[in-house]
A and B are shown apart, each in its own frame.
Chain A
């Protein structure tokens, strides 16, 4: 089954993490992707900071769509990246998520969402 792992974090809490630890975790994340390459599909990306986000939404009462600065909601958690994985079941996806290297950072969480299967089988 295919799932999207959405890596979320809290930018307001990230500052509490020492720079050396962040540098170190990048190395661990790189190794994590290598180790789990078999589960990864080609889709996935690390996203630029949430301050770079632009949101397009419907205008008021049928007006033109409006473009606004910032993410689509005001939550403190932001999505920092995502991967599309292909694993046998949710337990396998959970096992992957549990081993995410920066999971012990304050505010870091991973949302797992199954992908709609359009193959019709």
Chain B
């Protein structure tokens, strides 16, 4: 038994490494995701409490399995519907339960189950954070800026639907793979984005959800090495993360890409991500995550904002629009266009955007920037004020306030 008091970061990593394996194993044995997930989630809470005090045991996976099994037995005993399942658990489990035939990572089926399209997006996200990554309900709530009771209820309802509506917890067939994988990748991307937005800079006291999302993208892409979009997402998130340290100054204020200290970027992580993009490209099935990753790589490799290869970025955005014609992509393309040929045409283009984006603060912040470049100060001010009214994020608000004061 290790007696050193472990840091929360180490505890969380151990929990993350074990959770999905345990949920998948218990689900395989019991055939009931609700009971399996609940038992593991409670075991995680117990583990965090006990290990913080006593240190991490030598076999943390075994410790968690014993606790989860105990919790599951408890629940099954209380409910007569599960009588026949008690025997399965009483037979005893080992921490190294055999993997299913085919040698595929058993966690993958769990991930596809949590991200089933019959569940609403917020439910997919909450369930994935808890059942796959081992976040506690409190951490899940913090990550999605939602109350704990709302998240708890969301998870209960999602699990109930999986059981009652017969949602399969397994990897989909070849026919469905592209579509279903896209949902999984969207949820992973969303998990990263929530981390990106919810934080005001690195905070050692909080679990790093960005790191969790990259880990999850790694699990998915390792299990599906022939899926280029999974590799693309891992590359994209890695590139964002490699630059994360320079996004904030010492006081937690946001620094724009143009002004960031590029020597603080993680060069090794950037190179590793570029190799991922090349591996994905070799599979010759381009997609939106690969294209976004390639755009991010262009930024990551540029020595400065001024000497960035904006023409290539613009071309990549044109390709991306074919896969993802969303207003956000059009907005980003307009920003690249402004770098290539100046603010006039992109500004005219922003004015054609439909109402869908009018509540997006970045549209107004971008308009303000372009108007300022055209020397239209008063209009720029109005746009900045509109942007300010639309974001609740402290770091973003601070940046806009500074700009308005200048």
Q: Which residues of A contact B (CB under 8 A)?
A: 1, 3, 88-91, 93-94, 112, 114
Q: Which residue of A lies closest to B116 (CB)?
A: A90
The residue in B165, B166, B168 that gathers the most chain A C-beta atoms within 10 A of its C-beta is B166
Q: Which residue of B lies closest to A94 (CB)?
A: B118
Mask, B166-202, CB within 8 Å of A = 1, is 1110001000100000000000000000000000000
Beyond A88-B166, A91-B167, 11 extra complex contacts between A and B, CB < 8 Å: A3-B166, A89-B166, A89-B167, A90-B116, A90-B165, A90-B166, A90-B168, A91-B176, A112-B165, A114-B164, A114-B166
B164 touches A89 (CB 8 A): no
Which residues does chain A contribute within 8 Å of B164, judged by CB atoms? Answer: 114
Which residues does chain A contribute within 8 Å of B176, judged by CB atoms? Answer: 91
Which residues does chain B contribute within 8 Å of A1, judged by CB atoms? Answer: 166
Bound state CA distance, A51 and B168, in angstroms? 39
The residue in A89, A91, A94 that gathers the most chain B C-beta atoms within 10 A of its C-beta is A91
Mask, B139-181, CB within 8 Å of A = 1, is 0000000000000000000000000111110001000100000
Mask, B259-303, CB within 8 Å of A = 1, is 000000000000000000000000000000000000000000000
Mask, B85-122, CB within 8 Å of A = 1, is 00000000000000000000000000000001010000
* B285 → chain A closest CB, angstroms: 23
* B119 → chain A closest CB, angstroms: 11
Which residues does chain A contribute within 8 Å of B168, judged by CB atoms? Answer: 88-91
Chain B interface bracket (under 10, 10 to 19, 20 to 34, 35 or more)? under 10
23 A-B pairs within 8 Å (CB atoms) are namely A1-B166, A3-B166, A88-B166, A88-B168, A89-B166, A89-B167, A89-B168, A90-B116, A90-B118, A90-B165, A90-B166, A90-B167, A90-B168, A91-B167, A91-B168, A91-B172, A91-B176, A93-B166, A94-B118, A112-B165, A114-B164, A114-B165, A114-B166
Q: Which residue of A lies closest to B167 (CB)?
A: A90
Bound state CA distance, A24 and B82, in angstroms? 50
The residue in A3, A89, A90, A94 that gathers the most chain B C-beta atoms within 10 A of its C-beta is A90
Which residues does chain B contribute within 8 Å of A90, judged by CB atoms? Answer: 116, 118, 165-168
Q: Which residue of A lies closest to B162 (CB)?
A: A90
Q: Which residue of B lies closest to A93 (CB)?
A: B166
Which residues does chain B contribute within 8 Å of A94, judged by CB atoms? Answer: 118
* B46 → chain A closest CB, angstroms: 33
* A92 → chain B closest CB, angstroms: 9
Q: Which residue of A lies closest to B173 (CB)?
A: A91
Which residues does chain B contribute within 8 Å of A91, judged by CB atoms? Answer: 167-168, 172, 176
Bound state CA distance, A89 and B166, in angstroms? 5
* B182 → chain A closest CB, angstroms: 16
Q: Which residue of A lies closest to B165 (CB)?
A: A114
Bound state CA distance, A88 and B172, in angstroms? 14
Bound state CA distance, A1 and B31, in angstroms? 14
* B386 → chain A closest CB, angstroms: 36
Q: Which residue of B lies closest to A120 (CB)?
A: B81
* B191 → chain A closest CB, angstroms: 24
Bound state CA distance, A112 and B168, in angstroms? 15
Bound state CA distance, A114 and B168, in angstroms? 13
Bound state CA distance, A94 and B164, in angstroms? 15
Q: Which residue of A lies closest to B81 (CB)?
A: A120
* B116 → chain A closest CB, angstroms: 8
Bound state CA distance, A51 and B118, in angstroms? 32
Bound state CA distance, A89 and B31, in angstroms? 13
Which residues does chain B contribute within 8 Å of A93, judged by CB atoms? Answer: 166
Bound state CA distance, A91 and B166, in angstroms? 8
Bound state CA distance, A89 and B118, in angstroms? 12
Which residues does chain B contribute within 8 Å of A114, judged by CB atoms? Answer: 164-166
Bound state CA distance, A112 and B165, in angstroms? 9
Which residues does chain A contribute within 8 Å of B167, judged by CB atoms? Answer: 89-91
Bound state CA distance, A40 and B298, in angstroms? 55
Bound state CA distance, A88 and B173, in angstroms? 15
Which residues does chain B contribute within 8 Å of A112, judged by CB atoms? Answer: 165
Which residues does chain A contribute within 8 Å of B118, judged by CB atoms? Answer: 90, 94
* A91 → chain B closest CB, angstroms: 5
Q: Which residue of A lies closest to B169 (CB)?
A: A89
* B240 → chain A closest CB, angstroms: 33
* B341 → chain A closest CB, angstroms: 42
* A99 → chain B closest CB, angstroms: 12
Bound state CA distance, A77 and B164, in angstroms? 25
* A121 → chain B closest CB, angstroms: 9
Bound state CA distance, A94 and B176, in angstroms? 11
Which residues does chain A contribute within 8 Å of B172, judged by CB atoms? Answer: 91
* B85 → chain A closest CB, angstroms: 12
Bound state CA distance, A1 and B118, in angstroms? 16
* A112 → chain B closest CB, angstroms: 8
Bound state CA distance, A65 and B118, in angstroms? 37
